[in-house]
Amino acid sequence: MRRRRLAAVVGIAALVALVAAGCTGDGADPEPTPVAGGAAVLPGPVPADLALRPAPTDLPAAPKVTGTLTDGSPLATAELWADRPVVLTFFSSWCNTCVERQDGLSELARSHRDRVVFVGVAGEDEPDALQEYLRQHRVEYPVLVDADQRVARAYAVREPPAVVLVAKGGTLLRGWPGGVDAATLDSMLRKLVLAP
């Protein structure tokens, strides 16, 4: 009888230890959630079937900027547009128009994944508010933190939202002060950069 009680107590103690350890079995801490907008969401290889329209030769070059992603990783925009088009989306988590359009832009970025690189540029945001925004709107592309507004000034962006389209090679194709909805941007991507 005494052995049964001892076995029961040991069994309960083991169960409590597993629950306290998060049921991982080894007591190790679970993997931390990756920082949204960091290097983990940089594009993969360029698809072999990517067909692009030639960029006009009479348009200016886009400003080459460097910055830091949300996870502290460095990013140079010129490295991204060396082999594919880039869409820069300037936004802030407190911007109502940004909030209204972000879900559509996030879906558009997923639909063109690796063919067109979307890069968010977040200015005047608190890190926690920015992370909440990126997770809530499923932003699955890299995001530059532009706290000093250096990137925004390079592109003459006074306030969010704004969207800029850069061709492969760095030609500045089009900008939308005040932003643009996903359907219009998709149409322009097909008209200006993606060959049928």
Q: Domains of the chain (ranges plus CATH)?
A: 1-31 (no CATH), 39-192 (3.40.30.10)
Q: How far apart are the first and last CA of the chain?
A: 80
Per-residue confidence (pLDDT) for residue 22, from 0 to 100? 45
pLDDT category at 8 given cuts 50, 70, 90 is very low
Average pLDDT, the chain: 87
Report which of 79, 172, 94 is spatially closest to residue 130, judged by C-alpha positions: 94
Helix, strand, coil percent values for the chain (each to nearest 5): 35, 20, 45
Per-residue confidence (pLDDT) for residue 196, from 0 to 100? 87
Q: Among residues of the chain, what percentage have pLDDT more than 90? A: 81
Provide the token pair at 73: 């990783």
